Structure 1
């Protein structure tokens, strides 16, 4: 088996062929709903932020949030089901595949799903007339890295549990607060001073700042290196934890 992780990716993509219609529909509909309700609806009351109207300002934030949520959501029930209900991971264990092949194949699948959603979002943004060259060039890289940065630790977490109710806690106390306090819908400067440093713990904050800087042409080398390094640290830590939890779960 020359490329074992690619074989794992192929398996997940074959399963995705049965579900792509529903997800593809949401990839287009949700951006439209968000941009209309928040960008146009709320934006009518907000007006401008800095030198940009609210719809233009919010596009990179919503795109980063979309990638973040896809990385997290794909790595919850998708991973748990492979252990508890479908048994795909256990079947892979009976082959020459190593745990790192399973984890890498899964993360590659998450990356593919994220890039499909990013492409759909960019098409919608173009329809709304809010597409910039900086956004087009940076979105695949930034959103892909952001998605993997949250998908890797979420995958590790999902491999440790046997009850899906844990995902309610993850959504309520991790994912939703991250979306609300990471600069997606309003500037972090508007948060209370004691919350602002906490918001930078979330990888989403760094993804939003990076994507917005590229979109508006304000990115600096120091800024880019800092945000990318932070996201890579999340990915590396999640990768190590996922390999550890997969190995422990398979030897239980």
Structure 2
């Protein structure tokens, strides 16, 4: 009698909990994204402050400071106006890779978040895509602040600057997806520092952010062309200046999309090896 009553009470309680539980989204990756957004709510204030402070310091230091010594500008364009789109693209790259290195590594090696998520009714693709969506969110919010600051400095000369968020979103995915694969495959975080030292910094310096790629020797010029950052820089510069890009828009977009798709496939394979037993 007691067991029956107790069982009935437990059954009623379980049913009440099931009714109170929010339904799972039709796209499970959104549940993963929501997980990261909940964590981000605790730190967003510091992130927003740095998102505004970084472009102000960069524009004042490089655009107005260094630009004051470059009288002729670049191709008849004021150096600040020429520099800003490169800084936008490089900032998107740095945010995307920053969110795709230690966070991914720690989710496997330290806090084991991915393993906990894999115990839920989530596929590997959901875990990967949801985290990539959060990286995309971080890129877009940072670049939105950057665009606002640079607009106040009068460095956006064309209404086509409105397409810049779409460009940096694709650039962010193009570098974040393969970085996910890399961060999930290494066994020490020292490899992540090497990625910044030998990939991120050289790309930032030589992919057309601070000076035209045409100034490089021919061999290094083609290395720069091979980086996703140069394609993002050229598209952003064409948009903010209202000029035609050096390569076709379709060529740039297809190249970045290939990086994003190839990186996602590699990351999915690396995640699956670790999460599926």
- TM-score bracket relative to the smaller structure: over 0.9
Change (3 A) 1:56 1:220: closer
- For residues 95-122 of structure 1, give each alpha carbon's deviation from its aligned partner in whole angstroms, at most 9, with x where no partner exists: 1101100111011101111110111001
> Which residue of 2 is the match for residue 228 of structure 1?
253
> Which residue of 1 is the match for residue 69 of structure 2?
45
TM-score by length of 2: 0.88
Q: CA deviation at 1:51?
A: 1.8
Tell me the distance in 1 between the aligned counterparts of 2:249 and 2:276.
41
Q: How many residues align?
A: 252
> Which residue of 1 is the match for residue 82 of structure 2?
57
TM-score by length of 1: 0.96
> Larger deviation: 120-129 or 238-247?
120-129
2:155 to 116, 130, 146: 130
Q: CA deviation at 1:56?
A: 0.7
Structure 1 gap segments, 5+ residues each: none
Higher Rg: 2
2:55 to 18, 25, 31: 31
- Given that residues 39 and 54 in structure 1 are in contact (C-alpha distance below 8 angstroms), is that contact kept between their aligned partners in structure 2? yes
- For residues 148-174 of structure 1, give each alpha carbon's deviation from its aligned partner in whole angstroms, at most 9, with x where no partner exists: 100000011111123111111100000
Structure 2 gap segments, 5+ residues each: 1-23
> Larger deviation: 166-175 or 156-165?
156-165
Q: Are 1:203 and 2:240 an aligned pair? A: no
Tell me the distance in 2 between the aligned counterparts of 1:237 and 1:186.
29
Q: CA deviation at 1:231?
A: 0.1
1:154 to 179, 184, 192: 179
1:3 to 11, 27, 30: 27
Q: CA deviation at 1:192?
A: 1.6
